[in-house]
Amino acid sequence: MNVTNSLKRLRVRRSFKLFRMDRTQITLMILLTAGGVFMILPLVYIFNHALKPYSELFLFPPRIFVQEPTLSNFTEFFVVLRDSTIPITRFLFNSLIVTGIGTFMVIIVSSLCAYPLAKHRFPGHKIAFSIIILSLMFVPEAMQIPRYVVVARLGIMDTYWGHILPHIAAPVSVFLMKQFMDQVPTELLEAGKLDGAREWTVFYRIVMPICMPAVATSAILTFQSIWNDASTSVLFMQNDAMKTFPYFLSTITNNLANQVARQGAAAAAALIMFLPTLIVFLVFQRKVISTMAHSGIK
C-alpha cells in the first residue's frame, strides 16, 4: 500500500511539474490573451451593432455591447428588400454560383501552376515565379481597364464567366501553394514514380493531400475576395439579373448612408454580408494554422 501511495504521489508531482510555468511563460500567456481579446472586439462589435435599437445606434461615445437587443433591424432590412424589382434570391444564387465555381477554379489553377514551379526546374522557372511575385504589387484599380478589355473581347459580358474569369489568376494563392509544395520531399515523389505512378497520379495522390492546409487557406482568402467583390457587377454586368449579392447590398447601404431612419437596416446588412466569411473561416481554421506554421510533412 505504501508503495502504491508513493507512486500516486510521484505521478501527481510530475503532472504539476508539466503544468508549471515560469514568469516568462505567464507574461507571454497574458499578452497573447490580451491580444486575442483585442482582435476579437470588431467581431463582437459587428454582432452587437446589428442588434442595437435606434436609441443605442447613435450614442456617443458608442458602446460595444448592446443593452437592449432587438431583431427590428433585420425586419427593417427585409422591408427595404421588398422594394427591389429583382428578388433577392436571384442575387444570392448568382453569388453562390460565382463564389463556389470561382474558388474551386482558383484552387485548381493555382495548384497546377505551383507544382511545376516547386518541383520541376524547367528553364525560366525562376523568372516565371518572379513575375508572379511582381504581380502582387499591382493594386486592383490598375487592372480594371485591362480586365475590361479582355472580358469584352472574349464576349463574356453579362455571363457568369465574366464574374469568375477575373478572379482565376490569383498570385497570392500561387505563392502560398508553391511555398508549401517546396517542403514536400522530392524523394517522396521519386518513390511514387518508381512504383509506377504517373505525373498526374503523383500530383493528385501525393502532393495535394499533403498540401491541404495551403489549399484551405487559399480557399478562405479566395472565398472572401470573390464574395465581397462587387466590381465585376459594376464593370461587366449591364443586366441587373446577373449582378451579385454584394453589389445589391452595396447599393442599398449607399442609399442608406445619408438616411438616419435606415441605419438599422444598414447594420443588419453588414452582418449578413460578414457571416459567410466567418463560417468558412471557422470550418477551415485548423488548416490555416497548419499553413502558417509551415507544417509540410511531419
Give domain status of residue 130, yes or no: yes
Per-residue confidence band for 296, with pLDDT thresholds at 50, 70 and 90: very low
Whether residue 61 has a cis bond before it, omega within 30° of 0: yes
**Residues 142, 198 within the same domain:** yes
d(CA 275, CA 118): 35
pLDDT digits (tens, 9 = 90+) for 69-123: 888 888 877 777 776 677 778 888 899 999 999 999 999 999 999 888 888 888 8
Domain CATH for 216: 1.10.3720.10
Residue 9 lies in a domain: no
Give the per-residue pLDDT at 289. Answer: 61
User: In this structure, is residue 150 part of a structural domain?
Assistant: yes
Q: What percent of the chain has pLDDT over 70?
A: 84
Q: What is the average pLDDT value for the chain, to the nearest integer?
A: 80
| Distance, CA of 55 to CA of 52 (rounded, Å) | 8
Work out the percent of the chain whose per-residue pLDDT is above 90: 5
Do 135 and 272 share a domain, yes or no? yes
Residue 243 belongs to a domain: yes
Q: Give me the mean pLDDT over the 231-248 stretch.
A: 86
Inform me whether the pLDDT recorded for 265 exceeds 60.
yes
pLDDT digits (tens, 9 = 90+) for 1-32: 555 555 555 555 555 454 566 677 778 888 88
pTM value is 0.76
Same domain, 280 and 137: yes
pLDDT tens per residue, range 182-217: 888 888 888 888 888 788 888 888 888 888 888 888
- Whether residues 169 and 260 share a domain: the answer is yes
Task: Confirm if 238 and 47 have CB atoms less than 8 A apart.
Answer: no
Q: What b/e sequence results for 88-111 when a residue is b if at least 16 CB atoms lie within 10 Å of its CB, and e otherwise?
A: eebbeebbeebbebbbebbbeebb
Q: Are 236 and 149 in contact (CB under 8 A)?
A: no
Question: Residue 297: pLDDT band by 50, 70, 90 thresholds?
Answer: very low
Q: Are residues 235 and 123 in the same domain?
A: yes
Whether 76 is covered by a domain: the verdict is no
Domain that holds residue 121: 84-292
Residue 249 lies in a domain: yes
Count: domains in the chain: 2
What are 243-255's pLDDT values in tens digits?
888 888 777 766 5
- Say whether pLDDT at 56 is over 90: no
**For 266-276, what is each residue's pLDDT tens digit?**
788 888 888 88
Average pLDDT rounded to a whole number, residues 226-242: 87
Q: Which amino acid is at 227?
A: W
**Residue 171, domain member (yes or no):** yes
Same domain, 43 and 187: no
Per-residue pLDDT band for 295 (boundaries 50, 70, 90) equals very low
The answer to whether residues 105 and 196 belong to one domain is yes
Q: Are 163 and 102 in contact (CB under 8 A)?
A: yes
